[in-house]
Structure 1
Amino acid sequence: MRRHAAAGLLAAEWTGDTTEAEVVDLDEEQYRRGAVTPKLYGTLRVPAAGRKLSGRKAGSSGTAPGSAESIAREVVARMAPGVTYILGPGATTAAVGRRLGLATTLLGVDVVRDGELVAADVAEEGLLPLAEGAVVVLSAIGGQGFVLGRGNQQISPRVLRRTQDLLVLATQQKLAALHGRPLLLDTGDQDTDQRLSGHVRVITGYRESTIYRMENA
């Protein structure tokens, strides 16, 4: 009954604005083998109504607060000349590609530099020669909180050892849905997971960020 009431309030408050959300489900084949592995199937548009879909808010960006578009605006504003950026899969990182006017992939790993697409849908071997001094841009999987190790295995410990920084993106809705649970790392290499663990700055919108805990799964 409370769900029906929340749906009614959402419909009553909706202004017509929408934002992009990820469609994530379990990989059924892996689940039958006892492994809980979320899989990104694509994206869809959902109502951009904050009160029933998101948690905390901070500031205003001119686009829907906490939306992928707002986050993308901040990421692009932070991009430095001559620096290589590795964009992981997901709707939020795809919004970064759109902001740059590039045809990046939704489910693959892409590499950009100086506003140009260097490589699209790159495997680990292709990333290795491009990763030196690069910044890895990753979004958390909604509901699960995985930042590395689920759907982006191309960004391996070997690749990560060559990069200079990790930029974590998450909408306010995603962080609120974790209910205080940490963001998760599962690269398959304990030393890498430990090195990246700790409190990290998460970009949640244009000129909006928060400090959030990330740890080994």
Structure 2
Amino acid sequence: MSWGAGPVIERVDIVIPESAVATLRIPALAITDGTTDPQWVRVPLSRWRLNPGPALRLPLDPRTATRVRRYARLAPWSVLADLLVLAAWSLFALTDLPLGVRGPALAASCCGMLWSQALRRGLPQQTPIRARSGELRLPEVPVEVAHQWAGQNPGVTATAEPAPRPHSRRFYARSAAGLLAAAVALAAVLANDGREDHILLWMLVPALLCASFATVLKTQPPAPTGPVRRWPPGFA
């Protein structure tokens, strides 16, 4: 399916105004792959695992629905798991305990990190994102499904435009400056404190510099990766 002239766009984002969320009519097509017999699952509107907040009941393919349900069961416990990982890693890196104690601590921290990463994959790419303006955005929805959403809900649009940054340019600029200042200050302290500091503290300096550089890049709006189309055509 195409939108007039130009190449076919396989997946687009659905943009839902805040005023349309309460009266939203959701087609019975999976937002993941267009399955016509989907399973309806409550998907959180936030990726915060401790307090995900409200959720939206969405149609998903069976495999994705199973992963989301598992995520909902395990997510509240993941914060505790992360704390245990931090404690185990600190036990390994910051103490002089025997290797028989530090070894299992390292193994436990690695297993915990792998489990945490696997849990984060429980939410699909189509998880709704709430913008600062209040609108919802469902990323990477099949074009045919997006057309159904837009056709049944006035004001809802389908677009291939990249999503805006979640924060303002000033926020990212100030954050980058703060990270850079922290890196410079930490390097100065480590170089002049007259003692042998732990290697992890020195590793933190380039990490802060990299984080500052990455944050600077976010001061620019995201560039489209392909041709931009909107549906309905001409919707502003």
- Please confirm whether the aligned pair reaches a TM-score higher than 0.5, indicating the same fold: no
Work out which structure has the larger RCO, using CA pairs closer than 8 Å and 6 or more positions apart in sequence. Answer: 2
Structure showing the higher helix proportion among its residues = 2
Higher gyration radius (CA): 2
